[in-house]
Structure 1
Amino acid sequence: MPNGNGHDPGKGGGKPDSFPFFFNGQKYETDQASLTGLQIKAKISGWDQTHDLVLEGHGQDPDKIIQDDELVLIDTKQGGPPRFSSAPKANFG
């Protein structure tokens, strides 16, 4: 069945309608292939401003803190949808 842009998602070829990502195990979706850290936080209900957004690494890759202005690719073909969590901001003072 064709979607709103005339593509049939079951037939391939068209851009997907949404891109999934996960935060603390909960699934979220966006219609954009990439988002900034700030845009991701805005989609998460009840985001705690005293925490950092953390992108979970794949395999042996380490987890990474995502800055508000940092662009994250949501449209990932390898490794599945990105998975995020939060961590209290580091205080080195």
Structure 2
Amino acid sequence: MSDQDAYRREQARQTQLLTEAIDKAITDTSSDFAMPMLNAVAGALVAVQGHVLASAPRKHRKALQAAMEKQLPKAIASAKGRVSTAQTATIGGKVH
């Protein structure tokens, strides 16, 4: 196995572990709410993404952000059909 293959396998392993941990944290925390808002979950994920990008060295930040944006469509496609649908509530004529 080449160094690049080993790197990719380790990245995939860590990505899977972190994905499962984040999903569990969201699921466990959302049980504290009568109905968790999808916008709140999205806002929290964006905040974490901002922290990750801010922690990267300035000269690597654009490349990291581009890599994250590149992976998003694939992540959405792979998640379709595996995730439960979110509830949408209408309060005062506004969708939440």
Measured against the shorter chain, the TM-score band is under 0.3
Q: Which has the larger radius of gyration?
A: 2
* TM-score, structure 1 as length reference: 0.25
The alignment's TM-score, normalised by the length of structure 2, stands at 0.25
* Structure with the higher fraction of residues in helix conformation: 2
Higher relative contact order, chain-length normalized (CA < 8 Å, sep 6+): 1
Q: Which has the higher strand share?
A: 1
